[in-house]
């Protein structure tokens, strides 16, 4: 059997299993018979296996260069190195949707394992049914609209090759996977929310899905981060975020999911904000579909756009169904889930709601900015785009408000404020003032100074919360402070993890302010042997050569860099700037050389070279402060998320522990 045939059969099998699963689980719901639930569980395993076989066949076809399979002929090549072949399944449209569907079957299967445990048999049919329905959509899309296993009657000797942007950096191998794990992961809390609304049990789902939501959020964060990193190290423009529609598409669900993570805690604690939670999770999941619609439909021009095709229209239909279903259910049950008590703004609940509203607002602004060109075009016919200045202009005040709330929120106690809180907030505000002043003394811009102040303010908040908790515990139990810290950190994983994540966010904000404000770009053409003094560096062009490589052709221009003043510290070394020429692309791809240092980050790009005699080369240098720390902040956020999720944390009951400050 050929891989193409096996993959195609497995694909159809996965679709059939998904449809059967959906039918069976609907029977379970309407006939109230739990035997159907058990069958659906088994069917979800079969669907997962079929998905795995299908995905495996695609990988197999790519590995053995079977160009009779349409996807392989279009997106792979004999010359590709092994790692590129292994990531080729998600290098183009059809394969990436197959990976998406496979991940969906895995999530459905994982949820089916929870049936009878945390997911009771009354809610299981709706939760599983929602997931099966999503799965049916994806597999139907692959089978009928975007099938990777199309048969090529006369297989070409070699394929058209993989998108060179993907081959140019290993980060691209992980970025899409993280993205999909995050996007698809949000379907689980959405499914639980639907089940909660149908069964009218509005409270339990929030506990059961907090793990799922955080996992999805963590993957989404990692996906956005690897995307930024890739963009920085590959695209050669020295930035990591351009407010491109596709970047926005990943940010919107992240913002809604973040809002949900915050309001969800309030519902866990005292049952408030039920409708906010249903709303936010519906929007978060819908936003993942919206993002896919933007990327795959070609309605909005973007650097990431996949070839436009009929897929886009189906995603639009899917998006509208998700929104109609989620928000429709919400309006049906809204009278039953009105909040019983009132929320004081000056309390933890108030701050969490305020924060969530900011995230929600931010998300709506990003949606608006992303689709505004379509609106203008529809009404006036003029073709327009929305520049990055719009998003920067709006995100700066929103970001400042978020950083302010991020410090205050965790320090406020539930329900009301107290005397110690006022003292703490005074200390934090003093830190804010000192940080800002310090920035001004250093001669930084007002925006960057304010960010420094906010960083100090958040640091002070975390320090106050941790130190007061430790002091209380060590004095009441008579143990040393180190032991008290250790015990607190291991028993209150969620709280300490959130401190770590918040610290990472504050650090990221600081690095974004610095790097966006103080980036310097320069270009110059150098002859071989010529030196160029700029930005505290002395740059010398050593040679210009060409080299043939397996899957590409490269032009190399090694340079020697020596730092001559403080600005150039850390830039010393010999660097191979290069342009890669791929046969499937007319244009060469520059591979920037990035030299990180503790303060400035040096970025060297070969722009042009003397193609006739190899006498000169045009170089671009970009010097950006603190980019290294942006990536460090990413690792801190990931660490904080893993810290909360690490198994064992859930087993410690909250009630057995002594209360700590603000907890």
Partner 1 sequence: MKPKYVIALALVAGALLYLVLGGLGQNLVYFITPSEYFQQADRYQNRQVRLGGLVKEGSLDFSPKTLELRFVVSDGVKHVPVKSSGSTPPAMFGENRGVVVEGRFQGDTFVSQNLLVKHSETYTAPKDGWTPEQVRKLIEEAN
Q: Using an 8 Å Cβ cutoff, are 190 and 257 in contact?
A: no
CA–chain centroid gap for 410, Å, is 24
| DSSP label of 342 | P
Q: Check binding of 382 to partner 1 (CB under 8 A).
A: yes
CA–chain centroid gap for 176, Å, is 10
In the bound state with partner 1, the residue whose beta carbon lies nearer, of 50 and 367, is: 367
The set of residues, in sequence order, having a beta carbon less than 8 Å from that of 517 and lying 6+ positions away, is 444, 445, 447, 448
C-beta atoms surrounding 235 within 10 Å:
19
In the bound state with partner 1, the residue whose beta carbon lies nearer, of 365 and 427, is: 365
Q: Check binding of 518 to partner 1 (CB under 8 A).
A: no
Of the candidate spans 19-27, 246-254, 393-401, 596-604, the one that interacts with partner 1 by CB under 8 A turns out to be: 393-401
Burial status of residue 529 (CB atoms within 10 A of its CB: 0-12, 13-18, 19 or more): exposed
CA distance 407 to 425: 9
Of the candidate spans 28-36, 218-226, 366-374, 476-484, the one that interacts with partner 1 by CB under 8 A turns out to be: 366-374
The set of residues, in sequence order, having a beta carbon less than 8 Å from that of 441 and lying 6+ positions away, is none
Q: Check binding of 369 to partner 1 (CB under 8 A).
A: yes
In the bound state with partner 1, the residue whose beta carbon lies nearer, of 160 and 545, is: 160
Q: Check binding of 569 to partner 1 (CB under 8 A).
A: no
| Closest C-alpha among 522, 492, 536 to residue 646 | 492
| Closest C-alpha among 97, 399, 362, 391 to residue 244 | 391
**Minimum gap (Å) between residue 589 Cβ and partner 1:** 9
CA distance 37 to 32: 9
CA distance 58 to 63: 9
CA distance 402 to 458: 11
| Closest C-alpha among 30, 27, 297, 41 to residue 146 | 297
- What separation in angstroms does the CA of 23 have from each of 29, 36, 126, 513, 522? 10, 10, 12, 53, 62
| Closest C-alpha among 52, 102, 92, 101 to residue 72 | 92
Contacts with partner 1 in 312-351 (CB under 8 A)? Answer: 342, 345
**Minimum gap (Å) between residue 76 Cβ and partner 1:** 16
| Closest C-alpha among 439, 448, 592, 619 to residue 518 | 448
Q: Which residues of 568-602 are buried (b: 16+ CB within 10 A; e: fewer)?
A: bebbeeebebbbbbbeeeeebbbbbbbebbeebbb
**Minimum gap (Å) between residue 363 Cβ and partner 1:** 13
In the bound state with partner 1, the residue whose beta carbon lies nearer, of 367 and 425, is: 367
Q: Check binding of 584 to partner 1 (CB under 8 A).
A: yes
In the bound state with partner 1, the residue whose beta carbon lies nearer, of 389 and 647, is: 389
Using CB under 8 A as the criterion, what x/- string covers residues 95-134 for binding partner 1? ----------------------------------------
- Phi and psi based region of residue 626 (left: phi greater than 0; alpha: psi -120 to 50; beta: remaining): left
Of the candidate spans 86-94, 124-132, 389-397, 499-507, the one that interacts with partner 1 by CB under 8 A turns out to be: 389-397
Of the candidate spans 199-207, 251-259, 363-371, 624-632, the one that interacts with partner 1 by CB under 8 A turns out to be: 363-371
**Minimum gap (Å) between residue 353 Cβ and partner 1:** 11
Among 45, 417, 525, 534, binds partner 1 (CB under 8 A): 525
CA distance 61 to 212: 34
Of the candidate spans 208-216, 480-488, 562-570, 580-588, the one that interacts with partner 1 by CB under 8 A turns out to be: 580-588
Of the candidate spans 177-185, 360-368, 443-451, 529-537, the one that interacts with partner 1 by CB under 8 A turns out to be: 360-368
The residues that bridge with 334 in the sheet, in sequence order, are none
Q: How many residues bind partner 1 (CB under 8 A)?
A: 37
Using CB under 8 A as the criterion, what x/- string covers residues 295-314 for binding partner 1? ------x-x-----------
Q: Check binding of 531 to partner 1 (CB under 8 A).
A: no
Q: Using an 8 Å Cβ cutoff, are 190 and 254 in contact?
A: no
Q: Check binding of 376 to partner 1 (CB under 8 A).
A: yes
CA distance 142 to 128: 21
CA distance 389 to 248: 14
CA distance 505 to 258: 12
Q: How many residues does the chain have?
A: 663
Q: Check binding of 384 to partner 1 (CB under 8 A).
A: yes
Of the candidate spans 114-122, 247-255, 605-613, 650-658, the one that interacts with partner 1 by CB under 8 A turns out to be: 605-613
Among 16, 242, 316, 394, binds partner 1 (CB under 8 A): 394
Q: Check binding of 618 to partner 1 (CB under 8 A).
A: yes
Of the candidate spans 412-420, 482-490, 507-515, 616-624, the one that interacts with partner 1 by CB under 8 A turns out to be: 616-624
| Closest C-alpha among 306, 22, 278 to residue 138 | 22
In the bound state with partner 1, the residue whose beta carbon lies nearer, of 39 and 160, is: 160
Q: Check binding of 164 to partner 1 (CB under 8 A).
A: no
Q: Check binding of 546 to partner 1 (CB under 8 A).
A: no
Q: Using an 8 Å Cβ cutoff, are 74 and 160 in contact?
A: yes
The set of residues, in sequence order, having a beta carbon less than 8 Å from that of 651 and lying 6+ positions away, is none
Q: Using an 8 Å Cβ cutoff, are 349 and 266 in contact?
A: yes
**Minimum gap (Å) between residue 392 Cβ and partner 1:** 9
Of the candidate spans 59-67, 102-110, 364-372, 531-539, the one that interacts with partner 1 by CB under 8 A turns out to be: 364-372
**Minimum gap (Å) between residue 233 Cβ and partner 1:** 19
Q: Check binding of 536 to partner 1 (CB under 8 A).
A: no
Q: Check binding of 553 to partner 1 (CB under 8 A).
A: no
Q: Check binding of 393 to partner 1 (CB under 8 A).
A: yes
In the bound state with partner 1, the residue whose beta carbon lies nearer, of 617 and 636, is: 617
Of the candidate spans 188-196, 250-258, 378-386, 654-662, the one that interacts with partner 1 by CB under 8 A turns out to be: 378-386
CA distance 615 to 227: 36
In the bound state with partner 1, the residue whose beta carbon lies nearer, of 322 and 405, is: 405
**Minimum gap (Å) between residue 418 Cβ and partner 1:** 20
Of the candidate spans 394-402, 468-476, 496-504, 628-636, the one that interacts with partner 1 by CB under 8 A turns out to be: 394-402
In the bound state with partner 1, the residue whose beta carbon lies nearer, of 1 and 587, is: 587
CA distance 254 to 261: 10
- What separation in angstroms does the CA of 489 have from each of 32, 220, 496? 45, 25, 6
Among 153, 389, 647, 648, binds partner 1 (CB under 8 A): 389
Among 550, 586, 647, 656, binds partner 1 (CB under 8 A): 586
Q: Check binding of 587 to partner 1 (CB under 8 A).
A: yes
Q: Check binding of 588 to partner 1 (CB under 8 A).
A: yes
Residues that bind partner 1 (CB under 8 A): 301, 303, 342, 345, 361, 365, 368-369, 372, 376, 382-387, 389-390, 393-394, 397-398, 523-525, 579, 584-588, 607-608, 610, 616, 618, 620
């Amino acid at each position: 059997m050929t891989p193409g045939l096996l993959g195609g059969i497995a694909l159809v099998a996965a679709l059939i299993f998904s449809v059967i699963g959906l039918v069976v689980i609907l029977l379970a719901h309407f006939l109230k018979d739990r035997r159907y639930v058990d069958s659906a569980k088994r069917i979800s395993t079969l669907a997962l296996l079929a998905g795995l076989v299908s995905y495996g066949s695609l990988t197999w076809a790519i590995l053995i260069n079977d160009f009779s399979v349409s996807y392989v002929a279009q997106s792979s090549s004999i010359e590709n190195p092994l790692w590129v072949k292994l990531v080729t399944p998600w290098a183009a449209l059809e394969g990436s949707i197959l990976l998406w569907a496979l991940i969906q079957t895995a999530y459905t299967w994982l949820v089916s394992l929870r049936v009878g445990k945390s997911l009771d048999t009354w809610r299981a049919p709706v939760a599983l049914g929602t997931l099966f329905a999503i799965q049916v959509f994806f597999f139907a899309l692959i089978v009928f609209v975007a099938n990777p296993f199309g048969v090529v009657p006369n297989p070409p000797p070699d394929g058209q090759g993989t998108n060179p942007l993907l081959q140019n950096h290993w980060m691209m191998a992980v970025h899409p996977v993280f993205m999909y794990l995050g996007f698809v992961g949000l379907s689980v809390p959405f499914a639980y929310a639907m089940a909660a609304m149908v069964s009218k049990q509005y409270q339990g789902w929030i506990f059961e899905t907090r793990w799922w939501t955080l996992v999805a959020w963590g993957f989404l964060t990692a996906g956005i981060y690897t995307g930024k990193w890739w963009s920085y190290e590959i695209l050669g423009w020295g930035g990591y975020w351009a407010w491109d529609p596709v970047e926005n598409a990943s940010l919107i669900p992240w913002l809604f999911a973040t809002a949900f993570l915050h309001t969800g805690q309030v519902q866990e604690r005292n049952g408030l904000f039920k409708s906010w939670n249903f709303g936010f999770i519906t929007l978060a999941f819908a936003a993942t579909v919206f993002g896919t619609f933007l990327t795959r439909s070609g309605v909005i021009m973007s650097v990431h756009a996949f070839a436009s095709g009929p897929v886009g229209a189906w995603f639009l239909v899917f998006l509208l169904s998700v929104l109609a279903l989620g928000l429709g259910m919400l309006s049906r049950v809204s009278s039953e889930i009105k909040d019983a008590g009132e929320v004081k703004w000056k309390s933890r609940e108030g701050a969490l709601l305020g924060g969530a509203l900011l995230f929600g607002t931010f998300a709506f602004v990003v949606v608006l900015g992303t689709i505004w060109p379509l609106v203008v075009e529809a009404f006036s016919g003029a073709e327009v785009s929305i520049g990055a200045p719009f998003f920067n202009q709006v995100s700066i005040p929103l970001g400042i408000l978020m950083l302010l709330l991020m410090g205050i929120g965790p320090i406020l106690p539930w329900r009301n404020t107290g005397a110690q809180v006022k003292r703490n907030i005074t200390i934090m505000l003093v830190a804010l003032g000192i940080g800002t002043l310090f920035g001004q003394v250093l001669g930084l811009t007002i925006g960057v100074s304010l960010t420094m102040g906010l960083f100090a303010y958040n640091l002070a908040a975390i320090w106050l919360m941790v130190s007061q908790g430790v002091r209380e515990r060590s004095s009441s139990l008579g143990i040393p402070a180190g032991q008290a810290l250790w015990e607190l950190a291991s028993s209150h994983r969620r709280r300490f993890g959130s401190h770590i994540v918040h610290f990472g966010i504050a650090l990221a904000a600081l690095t974004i302010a610095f790097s966006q404000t103080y980036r310097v770009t320069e270009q110059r053409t150098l002859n071989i042997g010529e030196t160029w003094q700029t930005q505290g560096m002395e740059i010398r062009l050593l040679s210009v050569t060409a080299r043939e490589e397996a899957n590409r052709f490269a032009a190399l221009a090694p340079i020697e860099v020596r730092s001559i003043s403080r600005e150039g510290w850390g830039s010393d070394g010999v660097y191979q700037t290069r342009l890669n020429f791929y046969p499937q692309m007319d244009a060469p791809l520059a591979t920037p050389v990035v030299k990180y240092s503790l303060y400035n980050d040096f970025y060297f790009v070969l722009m042009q070279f003397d193609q006739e005699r190899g006498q000169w080369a045009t170089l671009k240098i970009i010097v950006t402060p603190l980019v290294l720390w942006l990536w460090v902040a990413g690792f801190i956020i990931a660490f904080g998320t893993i810290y909360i999720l690490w198994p064992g944390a859930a087993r410690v009951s909250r009630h057995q522990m002594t209360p700590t400050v603000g907890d």
